[in-house]
Structure 1
Amino acid sequence: MTSLLDPARLRAWWAHRQGLDGSLLGSDAATVLARTGWARSVGGAAPYLGLFARAGLTRAQVDAAVAAVEIHELPSARGCTYVLPAADFALGLTVGAGAPAGELAAAGKHLRVREAEIDTLCAAVLAALEGAEGALDPAAIKDAVGGAVRNLGEAGKKRGLGTTLPLALGLLQASGEIRRVPVNGRLDQQRYGYVRWLRTPVAVAEPEVELARRYFDWAGPATLGHFRWFSGFTAARAKAAVAPLGLVPVQGTDLLLPSALADEFAAYRRPEEPHYALLAGIDGLHLLHRALPRLIDPADAQRPVPGAKQGRVFGGDVDPQCHLVTDRGRIVGFWEFDPAAGEIVHQLFVPQDAALKEALARTEAFVRDELGDARGFSLDSPKSRAPKIRAMREG
C-alpha cells in the first residue's frame, strides 16, 4: 500500500487521468473536456494551452469547435465560467444557476430590485435577440430594450451593479435561453455579444450526483473537501451527492476513487521517462483539487515566487502565480510569455534534457504564432507580468 501513496506515483496518476501523458493526442476538444474536466476560463489562454498540451489542438481547431457549439464557455460550477463539452451544457448550467439567483436576491435586499421587474426585462431582452440578425453586445441590448433597463445609481455601483441588465443576462444564461459568444470567436479575450439559444429552460435529473460522478472520474482520487471546493456545495450537499456513487477509499487516506478505476489505479506505475507539459496556472491539473502542495516536490516548496515580495515562497501559495511546466504531474518550473521578444521565459527546477527543450520550443511557437500572447486572466498584460519575467531572466 505504501507504493500506492507514493507522492510521485500519485502525481503521475493525476497527470495520466488529465491526459497529460500523450494519451489524448489527436482527440477533439469536446472529447478532451469530457475526459479531463471543464476548463476554467477567465479571459486568458488557459483553455487553449490545456487543449494544446493534451491533444495538440491548434487555436483554429478550438475556435472551430466553439463556432460549431461543440464546446462553449458557460457559467457553471460555483457560478464560474468554464469551457464545457456539449454533452455537459445542461449539467453545467443547472449546477451554476444558483449564482444569478443569489445575485437577484441580493439586489432585491439591497437595491430594491423586484423579480417582476427583472421578468419584464428578461422578456424584453429575448424579444430583442429574437429580432436581431447577429449577436448583440450589452450596449446594443440596452438600446433595444429602452426603459426596461433601470439605472441603479451610486448604490448599485458600490455593489458592482450599474443597471439591472446584468441580472437579466445572468438569469437568461443560466436557463440556457441565451448564450454569450466572443465577438472575435476567441476564448482568450473578453468582448462578448449575446444570441438567442434554447427555447426551453434546461433541466437535469440529480444534477449534484451527476456533477460528483464526473468530478471523481476527472480528479480521483480526491477528497470530499476537494469536491466541495470545485462544486461550491456545503458539506451536507457534497455528502449527499457522492453517497450513490459507491466511491472507494484509498487505504490510509481520506482520498476517494470511483470503484471502476480501483484496479487500474492499483496497477498503475509511474512512467520512467519524463513527459513535459506547459500549462496555465489555472489548469485543471491544479484547479480541480486546488491543493497545490500535492504537485510540488518538497525540495521546491521554498523557491521564491518570481516577481513577488521577498519571503514569499512557492509552497506557501494557494494558487500558482505563474504558468507551469510539469513532468508526470510534478511542477518542475515556471514560465511566462514575453510578447515583445516573442519568446517563453522560464525558471526551471530540473535540467533541460532534449524532451524538455522540445516541449518549450513547441509551446513557444504555438503561443507566438497562434495566440500572440499567453495571458493568465483578462487583466493580465505584458506590463503587469514584467516583474515576473524580469525575475525569471535574472534567476
Structure 2
Amino acid sequence: MGEERRHIAVAERRARLALRHRLAGTAHAASPEEVARSLVALHGTDPATVYLAVGARLADAGKTVAELDRALYEDRTLVRMHGMRHTVFVFPAELAAVVHASTGLAIAAKARAGLIKDLVSGSDGRLSEEWLAEVEASALAALARRGQATVNELVQDEPRLREQFTYGAGRSYESAHTVSSRLMRVLGVEGRVVRGRPLGSWTSTQFRWAVAPPHPELPPSEAQPELLRRWLAVCGPATEADLKWWTGWKVTDVRRALAAIGAVAVSLDDGVTGYVTADDIAPVPGPAAPWAALLPGLDPTAMGWQERDWYLSPSLRPALFDGSGNVGPTVWWDGRVVGGWAQRADGALVWRVLEPAGVGREALAAIETEADRLRAWLGPTRITPRFRTPLEKELTTGQ
C-alpha cells in the first residue's frame, strides 16, 4: 500500500493564507518589494489595485504611495508587465525573465501573428509585415531616446503609428484599430516594453511606456517549474485546476512543471487532491490572533485560486464579482471573505458584512479598525474600481 497522503484542512489553508499573504497583523511587510515577493504577482490591470493591495499588507500603510513609486519608477525593483493569462501584473524585477519565458513567449507569438494578419487584411495590403518592422524599430528607438513616453509622444517621433486598419471587416464587431495601440500591446507581451510612470496620480489609468530592462533569456522548461514553485510556496496547497487557471498554461505544462519540482500531492476537504512543494509538508500553525482586512478589487489573494469555496462562500459571488469573473473590493475576517466595501464620491468609506455567521463584535471592531487604517492613508484620494461589482455600486450610491 502507498503512503497515506497528508490532509490539509480548510483551517490550515486559511492559516497559510493569513501568514504567507501578509494579511495577519503580525505578518505585515516592511516594503513593497517584500509584499510582491511574498505574493509573486500583484494584479496591475487597475493601477489603484497595486497600491491598495500593498497598503493592506504594509506595517506602515502611510508609506505605501511613496515607497511603491520608488520601487516602480526609481529603483525599478518592481516592474509592471504582461504575464499570466495575457494580464498586466507587477512582479519583482528578478522574476521578469521567468515570467516572460514561462508564459509570455507563447502568448506573444500568437499576439504578433494576429496583429500581422489583421494589419494586412484590414488595410487591403497597404500595410505589410515589412512596413510594421520599420515602424516598430523607429518607435523603439524613439522610446529609448525619450526614456519614457506616452503613445501620443511617440506618434510625434514616428507618425506612421497613427495609421489605422479595419478589424473584423463586415462583421458585427467591425472597428478601426490604430497601429500604435496594437503594436505597443504586442511589444509589452513580448517583454520589450513595460509600463512606466502614469500621467497624474497613482490612480491614473493613463501611463507612459518604457523600454524593458534587459533580462536573460530562459528556456520555458526551466522557467515554468520556477514560476510554479514560487507560486505553490505562497498559495499551496492548490489543485491542478487552480494551477492551470492561474498560469494560463495547458494542463500538460502544469503536470510537467509539478513533476519537475517534485511537488507532493495532499488531500483537501471533499476528497480533492492538492499540491505543495516538497519542503512544505509540515503543519502550519495559525496566526496568534484573528485578523481583518479590506482588500481591493482584483486583489491577488481573492483572485489567487480558481476553486475558492474554502475562503469565499458561493452565495457571496453574485454580489462581489462582475459578469467577467473580476472580484470587487472585499472584507475579510480570519481567513474568509465576509463582505465588501466601497468609497463614495464624498470620500466616505463604507462596508457591509454579507455572511454574518461567526462575525461577532470582535470581528466588527477589527474590520472597522482596518477601515480607519485605510481611510487614514487614502486621505483625499478617491478610488473607483475599474471593474464595478453589484455590491460596490450599491454601497457607493448608498442604496
For this structure pair, what is the TM-score category when the shorter chain's length is used for normalisation?
Answer: 0.7 to 0.9
The answer to whether the aligner puts 1:30 opposite 2:33 as a matched pair is yes
The answer to whether the aligner puts 1:143 opposite 2:156 as a matched pair is yes
Structure 1: gaps of 5 or more residues: 306-311
Aligned to 1:322: 328
Q: How does the TM-score come out when normalised to structure 2?
A: 0.82
Aligned to 2:114: 106
Give the distance between the partners of 1:329 and 1:320, measured in 2 at CA.
20
Aligned to 1:169: 184
Bigger drift between 350-359 and 218-227 goes to 350-359
1:66 aligned to which of 47, 55, 72: 72
The answer to whether the aligner puts 1:75 opposite 2:82 as a matched pair is yes
Task: State the Cα distance separating 1:246 from its structure 2 match.
Answer: 0.9
The answer to whether the aligner puts 1:262 opposite 2:270 as a matched pair is no
Give the distance between the partners of 2:85 and 2:326, measured in 1 at CA.
20
Aligned residue type for 2:383 = A
1:334 aligned to which of 330, 340, 343: 340
Q: What root-mean-square deviation, in Å, do the aligned CA atoms of Structure 1 and Structure 2 show?
A: 3.2
| Contact 1:124–1:148 (Cα < 8 Å) also in 2 | no
Q: How does the TM-score come out when normalised to structure 1?
A: 0.83
Return closer, same or farther for 1:6/1:380 CA change in 2, 3 Å cut-off. Answer: closer
Aligned to 2:142: 128
Aligned residue type for 2:204 = Q
Task: State the Cα distance separating 1:279 from its structure 2 match.
Answer: 0.4
Counterparts of 1:298-377 in structure 2 under 5 Å?
301-302=314-315, 312=318, 319=325, 321-340=327-346, 342-348=347-353, 349=356, 350-353=359-362, 354-369=365-380, 372-377=381-386
Task: State the Cα distance separating 1:143 from its structure 2 match.
Answer: 2.6
Counterparts of 1:136-215 in structure 2 under 5 Å?
136-147=149-160, 150-153=163-166, 155=168, 158=173, 162-184=177-199, 186-198=201-213, 202-205=216-219, 206-215=222-231
Return closer, same or farther for 1:203/1:24 CA change in 2, 3 Å cut-off. Answer: farther
Give the distance between the partners of 1:314 and 1:166, measured in 2 at CA.
31
| Contact 1:37–1:284 (Cα < 8 Å) also in 2 | no
The answer to whether the aligner puts 1:229 opposite 2:245 as a matched pair is yes
Give the distance between the partners of 2:107 and 2:136, measured in 1 at CA.
17
Aligned to 1:309: none
CA deviations 1:301-348 (Å, max 9, x no partner) are 545x7xxxxxx56699884653111123211221111131x2211112
Return closer, same or farther for 1:72/1:330 CA change in 2, 3 Å cut-off. Answer: same
| Contact 1:137–1:193 (Cα < 8 Å) also in 2 | yes
The answer to whether the aligner puts 1:239 opposite 2:255 as a matched pair is yes
Return closer, same or farther for 1:154/1:169 CA change in 2, 3 Å cut-off. Answer: closer
Aligned to 2:124: none
CA deviations 1:12-50 (Å, max 9, x no partner) are 222222111134434211121112220101224221122
**Residue aligned with 1:228, SS:** helix
Structure 2: gaps of 5 or more residues: 121-126
**Residue aligned with 2:297, SS:** coil
Give the distance between the partners of 2:91 and 2:287, measured in 1 at CA.
30
